């Protein structure tokens, strides 16, 4: 399970992000603990209000828990992971919010703690929390029998395509996949040994080499987004400069955007628009099926929740009726029968809770499998669309190279040593040779 965490402020923005339905198919508030209100946004405002009594600006500790893509993880596993995170970082009994998100056939968890200790009005320190989370993550992989990423075994084997939240959001704004974008740039870097080769390889993939605001090398996409070459490749800037040279001679980002808009966009815009329209048409039946499946799953969960709630009320009422009142109840207390019945009720309540959880987990697991099967179709369509766009950029680049070669050949004929056009027939060549003046060789003999 991959754990990503940060100390942060911005309680309102974080709360709105956790409740955002545009990016998630389902949002489930699992727990709001240690706050006066049970509402998520009210709890966030409460955490901010308490922090105002201190000098702490980053009063929240936010953690995202992402299980392996191929695993269907039960809620109990998430809860055990959260308990370990609390214990390792000294956040036990601190106010906490747990939210589950479901999208694209997967479920992941977000947890937010308030770092402010209400009794001492100080912030809980979180030294080396990234290292502690890494240890917890390794333990979860071992305990659950999941295949551990190579980067956890040896940092030198980390997947170079891993991306940050900013990179993911940047790629998503333009309909790109952050991991694929990194892989493209790294592929270009591995296949080139000079600036010219690297720039040419980038252009074949719809990226254009430019100079960033901080005088670093950047890649500008067809849509105008800017990506740092050093960050994409995972190498220091001095290594990039060693192969690509000083970026001062490259066009700036604004100049490259203007060049794209003037030279490249008019030629390829129509083809890209047609490709996107075709992709949208192919996605319509799949998106219709996704919405139908979502509505069906929501109805099934609502029916299960309603049935479990009604059964819980009936069972709670039945257990309550076992405890006699009046003189009979007093007699039961004296004889110890009341304690026996109470213990039995507590045990049955626990079994009922476990039974309801098992039923819900079974339903969610079945629905996840259905949704993942549909997601495979969506992934295939996206890959085909990305490959078609890459092919368009590659064809445009090759067409531009051929045009430049032809233009250079035409200029050489017009401004070279011979200004006369080349004769086409044999008779014209002989006539031109006869009319050509012989070269004076007298100076050569004198020498």
pLDDT tens per residue, range 117-138: 988 999 999 999 999 998 899 8
Number of separate domains in the chain: 3
Residue of 181, 6, 145, 176 whose CA lies nearest to 67: 145
123 and 11, same domain (yes or no): yes
The torsion region of residue 215 among left (phi > 0), alpha (psi -120 to 50) and beta comes to left
Q: What percent of the chain has pLDDT over 70?
A: 79
Look over the chain and give the mean of its residue pLDDT values, rounded to a whole number. Answer: 80
- The pTM for the full model equals 0.63
**Residues 144, 282: one domain?**
no
Range of the domain at 202: 165-251
**Partner residues linked to 3 by β-bridges:** 65
Q: What is the pLDDT of residue 304?
A: 93
pLDDT of 98 > 80? The answer is yes
The pLDDT of residue 413 is above 90: no
Res 206: pLDDT: 75
pLDDT at 407: 57
- Looking at residue 405, what is its pLDDT? 54
Mean pLDDT of 147-160: 57
Q: What is the pLDDT of residue 443?
A: 47
Residue 421 lies in a domain: no
Given this model, what pLDDT does residue 201 score? 82
Angle between helices 195-203 and 337-415 (to 10 degrees): 110
147-156, 173-182, 349-358: which has the highest mean pLDDT? Answer: 349-358
274, part of any domain: yes
| 251, two tokens | 């066009």
Q: Provide mean pLDDT across the span 87-105.
A: 91
What integer pLDDT is reported at residue 39 of this predicted model?
Answer: 92
Evaluate the CA torsion angle 79, 81, 83, 86 in order and state its sign.
negative
**129 plus 223 within the same structural domain:** no
- Which pLDDT score, from 0 to 100, does residue 412 have? 44
Higher pLDDT, 262 or 192: 192
Q: Which of 272, 251, 259 is nearest to 393 (CA)?
A: 272
Same domain, residue pair 40 and 151: yes
Domain-ending residue, one of 123, 157, 191:
157
Domain assignment of residue 446, yes or no: no
pLDDT for residue 196:
84
Give the sign of the dihedral formed by CA 12, CA 14, CA 16, CA 18.
negative
Question: Which band of pLDDT confidence, cut at 50, 70 and 90, is reported for residue 114?
Answer: very high
Residue 17 lies in a domain: yes
Cβ 152 vs Cβ 137: under 8 Å: yes
Percentage of the chain beyond pLDDT 90 is 32
Could you tell me if 235 and 229 are in contact, meaning their C-beta atoms sit under 8 angstroms apart?
no
**Locus of tokens 């720039």:** 199
Q: Are residues 175 and 122 in the same domain?
A: no
In this prediction, residue 44 carries a pLDDT of 94
Task: List beta partners, residue 8.
Answer: 60
**416 within some domain:** no
Q: Is the pLDDT of residue 402 over 70?
A: no
- State residue 166's pLDDT score: 52
Q: Please give the Cα distance from 30 to 38 (Å, whole number).
A: 11
> Which among 122, 139, 157 is the end of a domain?
157
| Residue 109 located in a structural domain | yes
| Predicted local distance difference test score (pLDDT) of residue 30 | 92
- Size (the chain), residues: 447
179/136 same-domain check:
no
Both 138 and 192 in one domain: the answer is no
Q: Are residues 97 and 201 in the same domain?
A: no
If one compares 441 and 25, the residue with the highest pLDDT of the two is: 25
Whether the CB-CB separation of 44 and 15 falls below 8 Å is answered with: yes
pLDDT at 445: 41
Residue 176 has pLDDT above 50, yes or no: yes
pLDDT tens profile 312-371:
999 999 999 899 888 888 898 888 999 999 999 999 999 999 999 899 989 998 998 889
Q: Is the pLDDT of residue 279 over 60?
A: yes
- Residue 77 sits in a domain whose CATH number is 3.30.930.30
354 and 230 part of one domain: no
Residue 208's SS3 state is strand
| pLDDT tier at 292, thresholds 50, 70, 90 | very high
Q: Which of 95, 125, 157 lies at the terminal end of a domain, its last residue?
A: 157
Residue 186 included in any domain = yes
Query: Is residue 231 one of the residues assigned to a domain?
Result: yes
pLDDT in tens, 240-273: 888 888 888 888 888 888 877 776 666 666 777 7
Cα dihedral 137, 123, 48, 31 in deg (nearest 10): 40
Question: Which band of pLDDT confidence, cut at 50, 70 and 90, is reported for residue 157?
Answer: very low
Max mean pLDDT range (79-88, 146-155, 211-220, 379-388): 79-88
- 6 and 141 share one domain: yes
Q: Are 204 and 393 in contact (CB under 8 A)?
A: yes
Whether residues 88 and 144 share a domain: the answer is: yes
Residues 6+ apart with CB under 8 A from 96: 31, 32, 33, 34, 82, 86, 111, 112, 113, 114
Does residue 47 carry a pLDDT above 80?
yes
- The predicted structure's pLDDT at residue 418: 40
pLDDT digits (tens, 9 = 90+) for 196-244: 888 888 877 778 888 887 668 888 887 778 888 888 887 787 888 888 8
More confident residue, 22 or 155: 22
pLDDT at 96 over 70: yes
Q: Are 149 and 35 found together in one domain? A: yes
């Amino acid at each position: 399970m991959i754990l990503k965490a940060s100390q942060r402020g911005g309680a309102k923005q974080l709360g709105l992000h956790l409740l955002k339905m545009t990016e998630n198919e389902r949002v489930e508030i699992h727990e709001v603990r240690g706050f006066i209100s049970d509402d998520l946004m009210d709890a966030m405002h409460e955490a901010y209000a308490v922090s105002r009594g201190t000098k702490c600006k980053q009063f929240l500790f936010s953690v995202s828990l992402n299980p392996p893509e191929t695993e269907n993880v039960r809620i109990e596993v998430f809860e055990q992971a959260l308990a370990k995170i609390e214990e390792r970082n000294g956040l036990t009994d601190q106010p906490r919010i747990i939210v589950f998100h479901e999208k694209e056939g997967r479920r992941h968890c977000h947890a937010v703690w308030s770092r402010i200790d209400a009794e001492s009005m100080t912030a809980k320190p979180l030294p080396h929390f990234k290292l502690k989370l890494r240890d917890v993550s390794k333990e979860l992989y071992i305990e659950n029998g999941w295949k551990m990423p190579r980067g956890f075994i040896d940092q030198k084997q980390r997947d170079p395509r891993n991306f940050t939240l900013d990179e993911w959001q940047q790629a998503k704004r333009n309909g790109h996949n952050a991991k694929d974008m990194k892989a493209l740039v790294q592929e270009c870097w591995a296949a080139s040994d000079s600036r010219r080769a690297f720039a040419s390889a980038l252009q074949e993939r719809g990226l254009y080499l430019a100079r960033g605001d901080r005088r670093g090398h950047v890649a500008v996409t067809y849509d105008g987004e800017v990506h740092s070459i050093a960050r994409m490749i995972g190498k220091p800037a001095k290594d990039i400069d060693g192969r690509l040279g000083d970026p001062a001679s490259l066009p700036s980002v604004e100049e490259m955007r203007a060049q794209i808009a003037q030279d490249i966009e008019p030629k390829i815009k129509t083809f890209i628009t047609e490709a996107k329209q075709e992709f949208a048409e192919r996605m319509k039946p799949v998106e219709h099926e996704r919405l139908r499946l979502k509505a069906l799953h929501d109805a099934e969960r609502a029916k299960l929740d309603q049935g479990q709630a009604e059964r819980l009320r009936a069972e709670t009422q039945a257990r309550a009726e076992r405890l006699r009142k009046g003189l009979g109840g007093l007699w039961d207390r004296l004889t110890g029968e009341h304690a026996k019945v109470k213990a039995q009720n507590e045990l049955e309540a626990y079994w009922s809770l476990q039974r309801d959880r098992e039923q819900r987990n079974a339903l969610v697991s079945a629905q996840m499998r259905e949704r993942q099967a549909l997601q495979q179709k969506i992934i295939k369509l996206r890959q085909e669309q990305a490959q078609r766009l890459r092919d368009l950029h590659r064809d445009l680049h090759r067409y531009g190279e051929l045009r430049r070669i032809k233009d250079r050949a035409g200029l050489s004929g017009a401004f070279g040593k011979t200004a006369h056009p080349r004769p086409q027939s044999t008779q014209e060549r002989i006539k031109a040779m006869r009319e050509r003046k012989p070269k004076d060789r007298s100076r050569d003999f004198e020498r």
